[in-house]
Amino acid sequence: MSTRVVIGAQWGDEGKGKIVDLLSDQADYVVRFQGGANAGHTLKFDDKKVVLHLIPSGIFNGNADCVIGNGVVIDPVALVEEIKGVQEMGFSLEGRFFISQTAHVILPYHKLLDQLKEKRRGGDAIGTTGRGIGPAYVSKVSRVGIRMIDLLDREILKNKIDQNLQDINFALENLYKEPTLKTEDLMAELEESIAALEPFICNTTNLLHEGINNHKNILLEGAQGTMLDVDHGTYPYVTSSSPTSGGACTGSGIPPTALDKVMGITKAYCTRVGNGPFPTELHGKVGDELRKKGHEFGATTGRPRRCGWLDLVALKYVVQLNGMNELTLTKMDVMDGFEEIKVCTKYIIDGKETDVFPLSLDDVEKVEPVYTSLPGWKNSIEGLTNWDDLPATAKSYIRFIEEYLGVKFTIISTGPKRSETILL
Ligand code: IMP
């Protein structure tokens, strides 16, 4: 029995989907615990590419039950579309897919407000995915949110939408100069989705507690990455949830004492999508090369990702925050062909050297990265499955990272397919 949480150790897009898919054949439950349809987990089978936004990546492997936990914010229309897509691929969700009664609902006004607020911010925009994530979490913490269980009682739903629209319509009319919304229209828009989702809505907290009591294997799947955490990331350029091991507990109802493995997923380099500081960002030829070789375009929005060398100062901070006790290195094959590979091992801020990630945005923006240069390798490592087949310089690169962080890699990914993996 084990309860393992898989966490993005950078700014998201670390390749968690493939790793969760891989690990899920030993899992009895695979659980999403935060975020929403802002996430895009890309999985590649043979020639097929599938992108999941809300359904846990374990849905395609083994017999794991898949759970959307209370910490997730759900766009019912987007989820139903995704369910249909999975069913069309020949996978059944009956009896193996569960949605928390207490997960919050993303309504059309959340998406509208997300986009209008971003537009209003102009040059200071966060660069959100526009999926209504921030406004939905605002509704949640300001205690006016609508939860999945509320969808099942039309009277309650109507009253709550009515109540919410009072404030929202005021803002639409007076602040944004946009047409107002009507409760009846929102109810009608939701009707088909509610009918489709109703069979899956249940008490997932108890389901997972029973799983723990029955010594089941539980795999918690983080979305986004720790550097986008609302408390610990590069605030305000973050998402509105907690993609950390702490968030895994609050977002699922699984207690911290039940977590025994915390796996961090990092790419062999760094990317970031959206705005905000990124100390090792590369603007020239090398950045372009990483983007091209790594196909670094957003799975949800298609935006080109910003690319840079691996940042060990940030990664060490993330390892400590989450208590990571195992690591996975993804996209190692993207580093093929570089004569030298740089890794950031220190920062200079206001002329002073440090290896501590600064918490003030102002300081992060001032960082001058200090790099250690390591030799690259010429031969392609794409698709390798054996540690012994890696070039010596690739092994040294991996060992260098492990030594800096004090944590070992247990998985090295050498390509997008399930089979293109070195297990250590
Ligand atoms: P939001 O989560 O849509 O509010 O966006 C807030 C920030 O998080 C933006 O910079 C987004 O680009 C970023 N973000 C949200 N989801 C993901 C993801 O799955 N991968 C990478 N970045 C993300």
> Could you say which of 13, 65, 75, 333 is catalytic?
13
pLDDT tens-digit readout, 372-412: 999 999 999 999 999 999 999 999 999 999 999 999 999 99
H or E element: which one contains 261? strand 261-267
Active site residue 25: no
Active site residue 363: no
Which value, in Å, is the radius of gyration of the alpha carbons in the chain? 22
pLDDT given at position 364? 98
Of ligand 1's listed atoms, the one at least distance from the Cα of 129 is 3
Of ligand 1's listed atoms, the one at least distance from the Cα of 300 is 19
pLDDT given at position 58? 86
pLDDT given at position 396? 98
- Map out the domains of the chain with their CATH numbers: 3-100+201-261 (3.40.440.10), 104-196 (1.10.300.10), 265-423 (3.90.170.10)
Q: 177: alpha, beta or left, given left = phi > 0 and alpha = psi -120 to 50?
A: left
Measured distance CA(326)–CA(177) in Å, rounded: 51
- In this predicted structure, the answer to whether residue 293 has a pLDDT above a threshold of 90 is yes
Residue nearest to atom 1 of ligand 1 (CA): 128
Q: End-to-end CA distance of the chain: give it in Å, rounded.
A: 20
**Is 224 touching ligand 1 by the criterion CB < 6 Å?**
yes
Ligand 1 centroid to Cα of residue 6, in Å, is 18
pLDDT given at position 207? 98
Average pLDDT over residues 314-322: 98
> Could you say which of 28, 41, 53, 229 is catalytic?
41
**C-alpha to C-alpha distances, 19 to 22, 60, 380, nearest whole angstrom:** 5, 12, 21
**Is 133 touching ligand 1 by the criterion CB < 6 Å?**
yes
Of ligand 1's listed atoms, the one at least distance from the Cα of 228 is 8
Ligand 1 centroid to Cα of residue 225, in Å, is 9
Q: What is the pTM of this model?
A: 0.96
